[in-house]
């Protein structure tokens, strides 16, 4: 029976790349997003915070084959300086990034999935002005990964995360399309190259699949070395 993976945030840069990488490895795909994409798989259009969207996605997955994996790549940022952050903004970001991730993980595991990968971020471990809500959400997501790995490991369930750094996609084109800005960004990458959405997706596919059968509870940076590098204080 074809193993099936559900991917949320599937119309975005990282989610779309994950769909492509998993399909190439033979997974059946149920792609979920607010907007319907044009890529591989069966599409379920809806808000990941909506229980009806979750139920539809699992139903479609059961019709395709045996649910084996879940990838969450939903984006919610809530950019604002700390002093201007509204508690409602924080709650919305946490609901989208953590609450929904937990709900989809619990439901997927109950439906038979044995491997889960959440797309976190380097912001879970480092701070940047104006990104507090996003960082709080990603740090909580990493905590969820560890908790799921410990509690559900005895059931044969693995849960991991990837921590992308700066990935050039359409929504941040202004930063990487300008030569001076791009050069400044590359100074924070020891590998001296940007990490692509495909780079991240290949790691997602590895962690979701059987080759990573002994890996769980891990939040793995896919950042070109950004987190490893101290700033140049000189």
For the chain, the maximum distance between any two Cα atoms, rounded to a whole number of angstroms, is: 59
The active-site residue out of 104, 134, 152, 166 is: 134
Whole-number Å distance between alpha carbons of 74 and 215: 23
Q: Is 29 left (phi over 0), alpha (psi -120 to 50) or beta?
A: beta
Work out the angle at residue 43's Cα, subtended by the Cα atoms of residues 58 and 64, and round it to the nearest 5 degrees: 50
Query: CB-based burial of residue 127 (10 Å sphere; 0-12 exposed, 13-18 middle, 19+ buried)?
Result: exposed
Cross-strand bridge partners of residue 109 = none
Q: In terms of Cα–Cα distance, which of 64, 61, 66, 91 is closest to 78?
A: 91
Cβ contacts of 174 within 8 Å, gap of 6 or more: 181
Q: What is the dihedral angle through the alpha carbons of 195, 74, 217, 41, rounded to the nearest 10 degrees?
A: -80
Alpha helical stretches, state H, 25-77:
51-64
DSSP summary character for residue 53: H
Q: Say whether 182 is catalytic.
A: no
Catalytic residues: 134
């Amino acid at each position: 029976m074809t193993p099936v993976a559900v991917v949320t945030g599937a119309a975005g840069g990282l989610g779309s790349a994950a769909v492509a990488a998993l399909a190439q490895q033979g997974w059946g795909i149920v792609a979920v997003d607010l907007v319907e994409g044009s890529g591989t798989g069966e599409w379920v259009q809806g808000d990941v915070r909506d229980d009806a969207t979750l139920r539809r996605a699992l139903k479609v997955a059961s019709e395709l084959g045996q649910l084996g994996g879940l990838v969450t790549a939903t984006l919610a940022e809530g950019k604002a300086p700390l002093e201007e952050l509204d508690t409602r903004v924080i709650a919305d970001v946490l609901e989208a990034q953590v609450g929904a991730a937990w709900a989809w993980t619990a439901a997927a595991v109950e439906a038979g999935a044995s491997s889960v990968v959440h797309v976190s971020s380097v912001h879970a471990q480092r701070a940047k002005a104006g990104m507090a809500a996003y960082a709080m959400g990603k740090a909580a997501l990493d905590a969820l990964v560890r908790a799921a790995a410990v509690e559900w490991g005895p059931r044969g369930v693995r849960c991991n995360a990837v921590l992308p750094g700066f990935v050039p996609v359409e929504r941040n084109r202004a930063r990487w399309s300008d030569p001076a800005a791009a050069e400044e960004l590359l100074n924070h990458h020891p590998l001296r190259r940007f990490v692509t959405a495909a780079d991240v997706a290949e790691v997602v596919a590895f962690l979701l699949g059987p080759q990573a059968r002994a890996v769980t509870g891990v939040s793995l940076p896919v950042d070109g070395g950004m987190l490893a590098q101290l700033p140049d204080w000189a």
